[in-house]
Amino acid sequence: MLHVRLITPPEQTDDVVRLIGSTVGTAHLVVLPSAARDPSGDLVLCDVVREAGEELLSGLRELRIDRTGSITVESIDLTLSEQAETAEKEAPGEGADAVLWEELTDATHEESTLSVTYLAFMTLAAMIAACGVVLDNAVLIVGAMAVGPEFGPLAGIATALVRRAPRLALRSLTALLAGFALAMAVTAGFALFMDAVGLFSEAKLEGPRPNTNFVYAPDAFSLVVAVLAGAAGTLSLTSAKSGALIGVAISVTTIPAAANAAVALAYGDLAQARGSTIQLLLNLAGIVLAGTLTLLAQKWFWARQRERTPAKAD
C-alpha cells in the first residue's frame, strides 16, 4: 500500500475527504484540523492500495492540492488491517502492475539529470567496455553494461512522449547525447594512452574477436533484443521492481558499441566505427520504441480497469 500525507487549506478539506471516501482502495483516513504550520492548513492522512493510487493522485491534482497545499506519498512495507485487506480486494488489478505516473515522471527526471555522477558512470562504463573490446573479454563487456546509466534518459524520453512532456524529453535527450559524447571522447583519448603504454594495440582491435565482435556487427537480433529489453526495463520501473533493471542493463549493446566506436575512431578504423554506431543507434531506438509502446499499453489497460471499477459504497 501507499501512505498519502496531505496538507490542505481548511476550505478544501471537505472536498479532499469526499474524494478519498469515494476512491476505491482507500483506508485509514485521518483528519487533523489546523495541524500543519508550513504551509498552514489541515493535515489529512490516508492509505491507498497501489493500483488505486493514480486515480487518487489525479483527483487531488484536479483539486490543485499540489499548489494550495502539499501531497506526499510513501510506500508501506507492511500493513496489518482488515480494512486494508478489504481495500485491496475492492481495487482493480494488482499492485505490481499499477503505474503511478507522477512517481515514474519523478524517477525518470532524476535518472536523466545531467550530473557529474551520471557523466562519470557513463565515462567509466565506456572505458571498461573499451578494455573489453580490445581484449575480447566478454566479462568486461557485461560489467560495462551493468555500470552504464543510460537507461534512465531513455526511459525519460519514452515517458515524455507518452505524457507529452517536452521539458522532460529535452532534459533526457540532452543527458543522453552529452553523456555519450563525453564518454566516447574520453574513451578515445584513453585508448590512445593505453596504446602509448603498450596495453592496447591496433592489431588487437583488428584481430579475431569471437566474444565481442557483435558490438560492431548489427543485425536483426540487435533490434529485437533492444525492443525486448526496453519493454522489460519499462515494466521494472513502473512496477518498482528495480532489480530487473540489472538484467536489462546487460541485455543491450549501447555502452559497448559506443566504446568500440571510440576506440575504432582513435585508430582510424572507419568500418568498425560505422558498424558500432549503427549498433548503438539500433539499440537506442529499440529501447525508446519499446518503452513508449509499453507505457501506452499500460495507460490503456488501467483506463479500462478504472471504467470497470464500481463506485465505492458510502
Q: What is the pLDDT of residues 201-231, one digit of tens each?
A: 999 999 999 999 989 999 898 899 899 988 9
Task: Provide mean pLDDT across the span 171-188.
Answer: 96
| Angle of CA points 154, 157, 158, to nearest 5° | 90
Q: Answer yes or no: is 314 within a domain.
A: no
In angstroms, rounded to a whole number, what is the distance separating the alpha carbons of residues 167 and 311?
36
Q: Are residues 25 and 82 in the same domain?
A: yes
Q: Answer yes or no: is 12 within a domain.
A: yes
In angstroms, rounded to a whole number, what is the distance separating the alpha carbons of residues 10 and 146?
49
Q: Which of 55-59, 150-154, 177-181, 303-307 has the lowest mean pLDDT?
A: 303-307
Grid cell listed for 206: 583488428
Q: Answer yes or no: is 309 within a domain.
A: no
Grid cell listed for 204: 588487437
Q: Are residues 90 and 112 in the same domain?
A: no
For position 124, what pLDDT does the model report? 96
Indicate which CATH number applies to the domain containing 82.
3.30.70.120
Give the rounded percent of residues in the chain with a pLDDT score beyond 90. 62
Q: Are residues 85 and 123 in the same domain?
A: no
Q: Are residues 191 and 281 in the same domain?
A: yes
Grid cell listed for 139: 566479462
Report whether 4 contacts 47 (CB < 8 A). Answer: yes
Based on DSSP, count helices (H) and strands (E) in the chain, helices before strands: 14, 4
Q: Are residues 86 and 113 in the same domain?
A: no
| DSSP SS3 for 113 | coil
**Using 50, 70 and 90 to split pLDDT, how confident is the model at 240?**
low
For position 307, what pLDDT does the model report? 66
- The parent domain of residue 282 ranges over 103-301
Number of domains in the chain: 2
Q: Answer yes or no: is 310 within a domain.
A: no
**Using 50, 70 and 90 to split pLDDT, how confident is the model at 171?**
very high
For position 77, what pLDDT does the model report? 83
Q: Are residues 189 and 160 in the same domain?
A: yes
Report whether 91 contacts 136 (CB < 8 A). Answer: no
**Using 50, 70 and 90 to split pLDDT, how confident is the model at 177?**
very high
DSSP 92: S
**Using 50, 70 and 90 to split pLDDT, how confident is the model at 135?**
very high
C-alpha distance from residue 228 to each of 7, 172, 267, 289 (Å): 42, 21, 33, 10
Q: Which residue, 71, 96, 121, sits at the end of a domain?
A: 96
Q: Are residues 110 and 76 in the same domain?
A: no
**Using 50, 70 and 90 to split pLDDT, how confident is the model at 243?**
low
Q: Are residues 36 and 174 in the same domain?
A: no
**Using 50, 70 and 90 to split pLDDT, how confident is the model at 41?**
very high
Q: Answer yes or no: is 281 within a domain.
A: yes
What pLDDT, in 10s, does the model give residues 137-162? 999 998 998 888 898 899 999 999 99
Q: Which of 33-37, 237-241, 294-298 has the lowest mean pLDDT?
A: 237-241
Element holding 70 (H helix, E strand): strand 70-75
Q: Are residues 111 and 13 in the same domain?
A: no
Q: Answer yes or no: is 288 within a domain.
A: yes
Q: Is the dihedral of CA 209, 144, 126, 109 positive or negative?
A: positive
Q: Are residues 178 and 290 in the same domain?
A: yes
The pTM of this model reads: 0.82
Q: Are residues 175 and 258 in the same domain?
A: yes
In angstroms, rounded to a whole number, what is the distance separating the alpha carbons of residues 174 and 153?
9
In angstroms, rounded to a whole number, what is the distance separating the alpha carbons of residues 122 and 181?
10
For position 95, what pLDDT does the model report? 64
Tell me the β-bridge partners of 31.
44
Q: Which residue, 60, 79, 96, sits at the end of a domain?
A: 96
Q: Which of 78-92, 182-196, 297-311 has the lowest mean pLDDT?
A: 297-311
Pairing mode of beta strands 26-37, 70-75: unpaired
| Angle of CA points 87, 231, 120, to nearest 5° | 105
| DSSP SS3 for 78 | coil
Q: Answer yes or no: is 307 within a domain.
A: no
Q: Are residues 90 and 159 in the same domain?
A: no
Q: Which residue, 96, 116, 131, sits at the end of a domain?
A: 96
> What average pLDDT is seen over the chain?
89
pLDDT greater than 90 at residue 235: no
pLDDT greater than 90 at residue 104: no
Q: How many CB atoms lie within 10 A of CB 46?
A: 21
Task: Provide mean pLDDT across the span 62-84.
Answer: 92
**Using 50, 70 and 90 to split pLDDT, how confident is the model at 246?**
low
For position 62, what pLDDT does the model report? 94
Q: Answer yes or no: is 313 within a domain.
A: no
Q: Which of 88-97, 156-165, 185-194, 226-235 has the highest mean pLDDT?
A: 185-194
